[in-house]
Structure formats: C-alpha cells, structure tokens
Amino acid sequence: MAGTLQEGIRLFRLKRWDLAIAELLQVDTGRFSPEQNSELAYYLGLCYTKLERFDDALLYLEQVVTSGADPLRAFQCRMTLAYVYTVTKRSKLAEFELKHLLDNGFESAQIFTTMAYVAFMQNHFDKALEYYRKALELDPHNTTALNGVGYILVDREIDPRKGLAFCKKAVDQRPQNPAYLDSLGWAYYKNGELVEARNWLRRAFDLAPQHPEIKRHIRVIIGEVT
C-alpha cells in the first residue's frame, strides 16, 4: 500500500524517524505539485539527518534548496546543510551555505553561532569570537554564544577571568548541559581554581561519560577516569 505524506509527517513529529522514512519513500508522487515534492524531500532530509545518515540527508536537502519552492524552508535546509557539513568535517562547504544566507539578508544568532563553530573547527579563533559576539548582539542570552565566547577566552588564555564569567552565564541558563558544565570546569581550571574545576567537570562527566572533550579535560585535572 502506498504511503502518505501526511502520515510520514505525523511519524516525523513523533520522532519515529525510521518509520517516517519508510512511509515517505512509499508515497506516490505521480500527481504531486513542485511544492509537495519539495515538502516530501524536506522531511526525508530531516529524518536522515536525525538518524545521522548524512549522505542520504544531503541528497534531499539539496533538492529543497534548489527547488526555490519555499524561501523559509530553503533557509531551514541551508542551516541543516551547514550542520551536516560541519559534523562531517567539510567546513568550507558549511561556510559556503552560511555565507549564502548572510548575503541574502538572513541574519540570526543561530547563523552566527554556527559560523563561529565552523571557524573554531578550522582553528580560526579570532573569527569565531567575532561571530559569537555578533550572535550575542542579536540575542544577549544565547547560551551557545555565551559558552563559545567563554571557552575560547579561557582555552586560548586570552582573558580567563572574563571567560569564566561567560561560562557561568551559560550554565546558569542551562545547568544540565554537559558541554556547558565542561566549559565551566575547564574555565575554573584555567583560573587555577582546582576544587571548583573538579566539581563541575565531574558533573559534566556524569551526564556525558563518553564525550571525548569532557574525558580529555577530566583526565588533565583528575587523572584517568573509570
């Protein structure tokens, strides 16, 4: 029996990614309009992204971007493409997608934080700081940007005290985020406050014991973890 777009979307919203893909791939698109085809590709792209099947995701996300059917949906897909390219270590392609959005008048804290992360992954730390600060100009409470600025300031030893303050602000807003807890622990370490460093890094490790950066930091401060 042929699947339906509506059922695929319903399964997507229930976070049943595998079932949603199976349903969407069975949809009969013979009488679909360009807008409906774009919508189908959009949800397939997002499902594959959620499952980290990135090559499949790229195929469908690119269809949406090139279709021109829905500017807002194309924006969302370019952001997702930038994410996929970043996590698959194709930083130049991620940067291309993000700059395309900026050149076309899209400015948001999300774009700038993603550009900052791309720059960070390329070891362009000054550029990353610049983008994180632009994000904070648009959204002073953006936790991704607060954490990003704080981590760079302490890790690169640019201004460890100021970096600590930024990391504290991020944790105040998101106290269960292991990445932010890790940054705060590392910030205390870089400021010579080892008791606090151990405390916050232990919290981060308890929440995400397999995270490689957290494991690296805790080994520096505490030693081997079991």
Per-residue pLDDT tens digits of the chain, which is 226 residues long: 457 999 999 999 999 999 999 999 999 998 899 889 999 999 999 999 999 999 999 999 999 998 876 788 888 899 899 989 988 989 889 888 888 888 887 888 989 998 999 899 889 999 999 999 999 999 999 999 999 999 999 999 999 999 999 999 999 999 999 999 999 999 999 999 999 999 999 999 999 999 999 999 989 987 754 4
Rounded alpha-carbon distances, angstroms, from residue 60 to 16, 21, 81, 178: 18, 12, 10, 32
Query: pTM (2 decimals)?
Result: 0.76
pLDDT value of position 221: 86
Identify whether 45 is part of a domain. Answer: yes
Identify whether 194 is part of a domain. Answer: no
Identify whether 176 is part of a domain. Answer: no
Range of the domain at 34: 1-106
Identify whether 59 is part of a domain. Answer: yes
Instruction: State the DSSP code for 50.
Output: H
Instruction: State the DSSP code for 142.
Output: -
Kindly report the CATH number assigned to the domain that includes residue 17: 1.25.40.10
Least Cα distance to 107 among 129, 131, 83 occurs for 131
Identify whether 42 is part of a domain. Answer: yes
Q: Got the DSSP string for 185-204?
A: HHHHHHTT-HHHHHHHHHHH
